[in-house]
Amino acid sequence: MIRTPLRPLARILDARARGENPEAIERENLRLRHEQMRDRARARAEGRLLILGFLFLCAFTAVGGRMAVLAASDEPGEPRAIASGAAIVAQRADITDRRGRILATNLATHSLYAQPPLMIDKARAARELAEIFPDLDRDRLLRQFTGKRKFLWIKRQISPEQMQQVHDIGDPGLLFGPREMRLYPNGKLAAHVLGGTRFGQEGVHSAEVVGVAGVEKAFDEYLRDPANGAAPLRLSLDLTVQAAARRVLAGGMTLLNAKGAAAVLMDVHTGEVISLISLPDFDPNDRPAPLNMGHPSDSPLFNRAVQGVYELGSTFKTFAIAQALELGLVEPDTMIDTEGPLRWGKYSINDFHDYGDKLSVTDVIVESSNIGTAHIAQKIGAERQRDFLGRLGLLKPTGLEMVEAPGIEPLLPAKWSELSTMTISYGHGLSVSPLHLAAAYATIANGGRRIEPTLLAGNGVQQGERVISETVSAKVRKMLRQVVVRGTASMADVEGYAVAGKTGSADKPKPTGGYYKDRVISTFASMFPADDPRYVLVVTLDEPEDRTGSEPRRTAGWTAVPVAAEIIRRVAPLLGLRPAIEPAPGFGVTLAGN
C-alpha cells in the first residue's frame, strides 16, 4: 500500500505561496487517514460480530433442534402412569368350584439354594442345615459344598419359619429365591379331578408350575396363559356336595369292606359333573409316585370313575329295554319268556332266582331277569344294539375335560355276535367306566337327548342328538321307579325324592379268564326325582361284602343301593331340591327380640 504523506510538498509550497497555513493541510490529511483507519476497524469488527453471531446462531439452533427432537420423540420409558388393571398376570390361574370356592390356588414360598464359592463356614452351614431339615444328610451336604459345584438346590420349597432359621445361620452362600407353590386347600377332596402339579423349568427367580394329571394337565395351557389375567377356571363340581358324597361313600366303603368305590353325580340337562369321587384317593398337595409294579388300579392315583372300565352288569338292561321300546318291539306290559336256563351253544344264561315262565317287560327289569333281557336283545339284533349303544356314547371315550378321559376306551367284544348281543344286554362283555354309564343314564333321564359329560360350569343345557323319544324316556323312568318301589333297589326309596334306578352286580373277570365267584362290582345307577329327573347318580363299589347277615351279601341291592340312597338323602337338599314331603312338625317362627 502506498502511504500518502501527511505533508505533500507540492501542496505545502502552493499554500505557502498563497499565504495559507500549511498545518491545515497536515491536519486535513491526518483526519482523512484517521477516518480511513476507523472505517477499516469498523468493517473488521462488523465482520467479527457477524461471524460470532453466526456461531451463536448455529449453537442455539443445535441446542434448540436437539430439544425439539427430544421433546418430539417418545422415548421408550417404563409406562409408569398406566392404570393398574393388571391385565397380565404371570401366575397359574386358580381353579374354583361352580360357586367360586377355591379348589386350587397359589402360595408364595421360597426356595433355598447354595453357592459354595460364596460360603464361609461350610462345615457349620452343613451341620445347621441338617438340624433344620431332618431329611438332609450332613455329610452329603458338606461333600457337595466342598466339591467343585458352583450352585446347588437345597430345598425346592421352604416355609417362612424355615426361611428365618436358615437366615439365622447367616452364611452369605445360602440364598433364597421366590417360588410359587400350588396349594389344594381341600386336601383329598376332588383329588382325582384336579390331578396335581410339579415344577417344570426351574430358575433361581421363579419356577414353572406344570400340571401332571386331571384338570390341571388338561387345562395346562389355559391356566398358564398370562393373557387370562388370572381369571379362575370354574369347574362344575360343587364343593359341599362333593364333601358330603365323599364322606358317605367312604363310610359305605368301610362298612361294606369294599376295595374301592366310585361315584358320579351329573346334571341330566347340562351334563355338568357335580361330584366325581374315586376311593381310595390321595392328597394332591403331596402326590404319590405312580406304582412301578402291579396293576395301576391298586394305586390311589387310579381314578375308578373315569379310568376304571368294568362290566357294569344289570344296569345295562335299561338300555336294551329302552331300545326295544323305541323300536316298538315291546310295550311295558308285553309278556317275555323267562324260562331258564337259556341255552346258546355251549353257554347257558341263568337268573339269580327262577322267575317262572313269563314276566312282563316291566317285571323283567324290576326283577332283573337276564333271560328276559337276552330274549329282548335277540329281537333287537347285534347291528341295531351296537348302533344304539354307540349313540348313547358307550363305545367311545368320553369327552370329559380331564387328561385321562380321552384315553379310556370301552372294552368291546372282538366280534359282536348274537351271543355278545345277549350278554351285553345284561351288562357282560362290554366294559365301560362309571362315567360312561352316568352319561348314558342322563341321556335316558332327560327325555332322550345325548349328553356329553363336562367338568366346566355354565355351558348351559346341551341340545344333543335325540337317541330315544320323550315318551320312551318317560316309560323307562316309570319302570326304573318300579325297580325302587318293589324291585331289587328297594333300599333306595328316599322319602320325598322319588328315586328311580337300576342295580347291577357283575362278577369280576379273572385275569386268567373266567369269573370270580365271590368278587363282584356292584353298581347302582339312579336318577331323581323320577317324574322329571334333574340328576343322575352312579355308585360303584369294588368287591363289597355285607357281612352283617348269616352269609355275606354282595348284590348291589344290599351294597351299592343303601350307599347311593344315603348320598341322595344328604346331597339332594344341598342341591336345593325340594322334597315332595311334609316338613317336620314344629315348623314356625319364634319371635325373638333384644
d(CA 566, CA 569): 5
Q: Does 589 bind other proteins (CB under 8 A)?
A: yes
- The torsion angle over the Cα atoms of residues 539, 293, 199 and 457, rounded to 10 degrees, is -20
Nearest distance in Å: CB 56, other proteins: 18
Closer Cβ to other proteins, 80 or 346, answer by number: 80
Q: With binding defined as CB under 8 A, does residue 10 bind other proteins?
A: no
- Angle, helices 9-18 vs 22-72, to 10°: value is 130
Residue pair 371/162 in contact (Cβ under 8 Å)? The answer is no
Instruction: State yes or no: residue 460 binds other proteins (CB under 8 A).
Output: no
The alpha carbons of the chain give a radius of gyration, in whole angstroms, of 45
- Under rule CB under 8 A, residue 274 binds other proteins: no
Three-class secondary structure of residue 215 per DSSP: helix
Report the amino acid identity of residue 434. P
Closest by CA to 517, choosing from 527, 506, 528, 525, is: 506
Task: Measure CA 269 to chain center.
Answer: 22
437 neighbors 453 (Cβ within 8 angstroms): no
Nearer to other proteins, 467 or 494 (CB): 494
CA angle 438, 539, 237 (to 5 degrees): 65
Shortest distance, position 239 Cβ to other proteins, whole Å: 7
Q: Would you give the binding string for other proteins spanning residues 90-129, x where CB under 8 A is met?
A: -----------xx--xxxx---------------------
Q: Parallel, antiparallel, or unpaired: how do β-strands 310-311 and 431-432 relate?
A: antiparallel
Question: What is the pattern of x (binds other proteins, CB under 8 A) and - over residues 534-573?
Answer: -----------------------------------xx-xx
185 binds other proteins, rule: CB under 8 A: yes
Nearest residue (CB) to other proteins, 95 versus 457? 95
Q: Is residue 84 a contact point for other proteins (CB under 8 A)? A: yes
Residue 577's CB is within 10 A of a number of other CB atoms, namely 16
Distance in Å, CB of 101 to other proteins, minimum: 7
Q: Minimum CB separation from other proteins for residue 578, in Å?
A: 5
| Closest CB to other proteins among residues 186, 278 | 186
- Taking CB under 8 A as the criterion, the residue among 183, 204, 210, 485 binding other proteins is 183
What sign has the CA pseudo-torsion 465, 470, 471, 472?
positive
- Mapped onto helix, strand or coil, the DSSP state of residue 69 is helix
**Which residue, 1 or 591, has its beta carbon nearer to other proteins?**
591
Which 230-249 residues touch other proteins, going by CB under 8 A?
Answer: 239-240, 242-244, 247
Q: Which helix (H) or strand (E) holds 234?
A: strand 233-234
466 forms part of the interface with other proteins (CB under 8 A): no
Contact between 497 and other proteins per CB under 8 A: yes
For binding to other proteins (CB under 8 A), which residues are involved? Answer: 80-81, 84, 86, 101-102, 105-108, 183, 185-187, 189, 239-240, 242-244, 247, 494-497, 569-570, 572-574, 578-579, 581, 583-584, 587-589, 591
